Amino acid sequence: MTTPIPSVSVCMPAYDTMQVATCLSLVKLMDKFTAAKIKSTLNTFKCPYVGYGRNVLTAMFLESGFDYQLFIDADMEFEPTVVGRMIVAQKDAICVPYRKKTQDQSVKFSVEFKDNQDINVDNKGLVELMRGPAGLTLIHRRVYEKLMKDLPHLKIKQKEIISEEANNYFYNFWDTTFDKDGNWWGEDVHFCNLIKGAGFKLYGVADGETTHIGNFGWKGKLVDSFKKANGKDS
């Protein structure tokens, strides 16, 4: 049986302008989608609060009826092949972990594993995560459909400047919060907690290379940080 070709809604929240390298990555990706006959659309939303922007873009995605939402932040550089691997994996939620923008250029990734979890990268280069960053993340619509059913109190009553139909899907899935010890959690951590609570798993492409663009280019692969931690610095 032939696997149906999925549809992908590319969503880009932006605080400011898109980086040139991100634009080039995006153009190459959309070309690959066209060549593979993958139905796709691109939605952007400029907002100083990225969590709010993600909520607006999620409403637009759900209203579209597309299969997958692909978040690409405006400061990410990547190769289209890694997105292809995310789609082929057919996971509920999967991201490409990227380096934190540390001033000392130290190699730190925005990921968390379960306590005492053995970090096992499978033969497809994937690793299960407890929490991961949203800047290059693919999410199937069934995740949101379950969250809407289980967490109706997250519905946002305020009307955003999007279609009337999209406003029906305007939920606060992406929000900053604090844990019980008073530690601040970003909107991506909050979302990871929601989907874990709903019974979904999050995966990361451990050998996917990205560059997180700022004053420098924080380039790397999560799997290389495992080697460094084990004293196998390449």
Which amino acid makes up residue 172?
A: N
Residue type, 139: I
Which architecture characterizes domain 8-229 according to CATH? Alpha-Beta Complex (3.90)
d(CA 185, CA 107): 21
**Coil, strand or helix at 94:** strand
Distance of CA 28 to the CA centre of its chain: 19
Domain ranges (residues) in the chain: 8-229
Residue with tokens 């979890």: 117
- What are the pLDDT tens digits along the chain (234 aa)? 567 899 999 999 998 889 999 999 999 999 999 999 999 999 999 988 999 999 999 999 999 999 999 999 999 999 999 999 999 999 999 999 988 877 776 667 788 887 656 788 899 999 999 999 999 999 999 999 999 999 999 999 877 667 888 889 999 999 998 888 888 888 999 999 999 999 999 999 999 999 999 876 778 888 877 765 555 544
CA distances from 212 to 21, 151, 164 (A): 10, 33, 35
User: Strands (DSSP E) along the chain, which ranges?
Assistant: 8-14, 40-46, 68-72, 76-78, 93-95, 126-129, 136-140, 177-178, 184-185, 202-205, 210-213, 217-220
